[in-house]
Structures are given as structure tokens and as C-alpha cells.
Amino acid sequence: LTHFFDRRVIDGITNGVGIVSFFVGEGIKYVGGGRISSYLFVYLSYVSTFLLIYYLYFLNR
């Protein structure tokens, strides 16, 4: 029973996440021209905005 759960459920979830992330990455790669620097800039902008909002709202009470 545990072998079935491990093989079908746990491995299925892990493989599914890997396959989805691969196809999403392949799709996004062509949308923005495939430039890592632009993705990194957008990602860091979102993270820094989130951290600033978190700091101002939660830690400055």
C-alpha cells in the first residue's frame, strides 16, 4: 500500500510539477525575448516592493 502511494501519488505530483514548470518556462522564454536580465529585474522589483510593503505595514506599527 505504501509503495503504491509513493509511486503513484508522491512521484506523480513531483513529476507533474517538473513537467508543468518546464513547459511554462519554455513558453515564457519566447514572450520576453529570452533575456534573463529582464526577468531578473522584474523579479527583483516585485520582491523589493513586497518587502517594502511588508516592512512598512507589519513592522512599523
Question: What is the pTM (predicted TM-score) of this model?
Answer: 0.45
Q: How many domains does the chain have?
A: 1
Predicted local confidence at residue 7, as pLDDT: 81
d(CA 54, CA 46): 12
pLDDT in tens, 16-45: 888 888 887 777 676 666 577 777 787 888
Burial classification of residue 28, based on how many CB atoms lie within 10 Å of its CB (0-12 exposed, 13-18 middle, 19 or more buried): exposed
Range of the domain at 16: 2-59
Between the CA atoms of 12, 15, 17 and 18, what dihedral angle is there, to the nearest 10 degrees?
Answer: 180
